[in-house]
Amino acid sequence: MSDKETRDKKIFRLTRRKALKGLAVGLGVLAFPGKDASASVWEAFFQKNFRELGKSEREKILARLEKEYSAQFGKAVKVKATPPVEGVLFGYGLDLSRCIGCRRCVYGCVDENNQSREPQVHWIRVLRLEKEKGVDLEHAEHYYNPSKVPEEGHFYMPVQCQQCENPPCVKVCPVQATWKETDGIVVVDYNWCIGCRYCMAACPYGARHFNWKKPGLPAAEMNPDTHYLGNRPRPVGVVEKCTFCIQRTRELEGRYPACVEVCPVGARKFGNFLDPGSEIRYAIENKRVFILKEELNTQPKFYYFYFT
């Protein structure tokens, strides 16, 4: 199904506007956003699901967000909504024989994707495993903190969103605030999520993170190159996750995700599954690969392999 068809199918526009106006009167009495609320608060409140927006509505919202973020962070913030490119299905490979557990990917990701610094939100979690036991999550150490990595007798396994082809998180969302795009990236509409956290219970990889508090993002550290479905600043009370750096990878002069770029040992591979010449295709076709929790039939597009 093409993106447009999907979008058309999801449209229940009807008289939503009218119904919402009625609701607005009711809620207005309750004075939800308070007396000094600007018009944009109401616009945000009544904003529709991202996939149901028409082109002009979408542009208006992006402009509103850019204005808001630029004022908030004191710099020109770009909010893109670049759609998926046809013929692209993103895939990721991680070479366990190379990873040294330095966690540069964790913090590179935070810098790129505007995660909260206080409290800290990480989209990547690196597990320290014992060579004797292999990939045994029950004995994974999450909080290893040696003076030097790698450590004797251990190997490391970074885990982030596996961008499942059959994502359990998408299925359970009661309001369709999260979905899989045609290039395989599972995204969240932060303006539609109600914060029920059912997706977090459903995810077998601990890839989804909740903003328990208003994200603490210092203006100086804010990355102004953002995507609506990706690294734009998040409000409190919604779920977020890795998007394969959608703001980089979907652009014409596409860049690698930040974690791929920052990895000092080249353990991370990224590319288009549908391109026979891509590095990721080579790795899958020629290396011993495995996927995490294969028995759950989530069909991750995130492959672990051993190069050596």
Partner 1 sequence: MKKVWAFLKGCFVLMRKGSNIYYAWVTFLLVLMVIGTLAYINQLYSGLIVTAMRDQVSWGFYISNFTFLVGVAAAAVLLVIPAYVYKWKPIKEIAILGELLAVSAMVMCLLFVTVDLGRPDRFWHLIPKIGILNFPQSLLAWDVVVLNTYLILNFVIAGYMLYSLYYKREPNMKYVLPLLLFSIPAAISIHTVTAFLYNGLAARPFWNASILAPRFLASAFCSGPAFMILLFQVIRKWTNFEIKDEAVFKVAELIAYAMFINLFLLGAEVFKEYYSDTAHLAPMKYLYQGLNGHNDLVSFIWTATFFNVTAFLLFLIPQTRENFITLNIGSILIFIGVYIEKGMGLVVPGFVPDVLGDFYEYSPTGIELLVTIGIWATGLFVYTMLLRIAVPIMNGDFYVGEDGVHPYIGDQLFLVRRAAMHEKAPDLLSQ
Interacting residue ranges for partner 1, rule: CB under 8 A: 10, 12, 14, 16, 19-20, 23, 32, 45, 49, 52, 119, 125, 127, 137-140, 142, 159, 168, 171-177, 192-198, 200-206, 208-214, 235-239, 296-297
Coil/strand/helix, residue 162: coil
CA distance between the termini of the chain: 39
Query: Are 155 and 165 contacting, i.e. CB atoms less than 8 angstroms apart?
Result: no
Minimum CB distance to partner 1 smaller for 202 or for 284: 202
Is the Cα dihedral 211, 216, 221, 226 positive or negative? Answer: positive
Q: Report, in Å, the least distance between residue 193 CB and partner 1.
A: 7
* 221 DSSP 8-state letter: G
- Taking the complex as a whole, how short is the minimal distance between the CB of residue 234 and partner 1, in angstroms? 11
**Backbone phi and psi for residue 254, each to the nearest 5 degrees, phi listed first:** -40, 140
CA 148/CA 34 separation, integer angstroms: 52
For the CB of residue 217, give the shortest distance to partner 1 in the complex, in Å. Answer: 15
Closer of 35 and 148 to partner 1 (Cβ): 35
CB closer to partner 1, 259 vs 283: 259
Write down the least CB distance from residue 94 to partner 1, Å.
Answer: 15
Q: Which residue, 163 or 272, is less far from partner 1 as judged by CB?
A: 163
Query: Residue 237, CB half-sphere, CA atoms under 13 Å: how many?
Result: 6
Radius of gyration of the chain (CA): 20
CB of 177 to partner 1, least distance (A): 7
In angstroms, the CA 32 to CA 13 distance is 24
Closest to partner 1 by CB, 19 vs 266, is: 19
Q: Cβ closer to partner 1: 208 or 301? A: 208
- Tokens 């616009």 found at: 43
3-state DSSP call for residue 178? strand
Distance CA 53, CA 57 (A): 6
Distance of closest approach, residue 176 Cβ to partner 1, in angstroms = 5
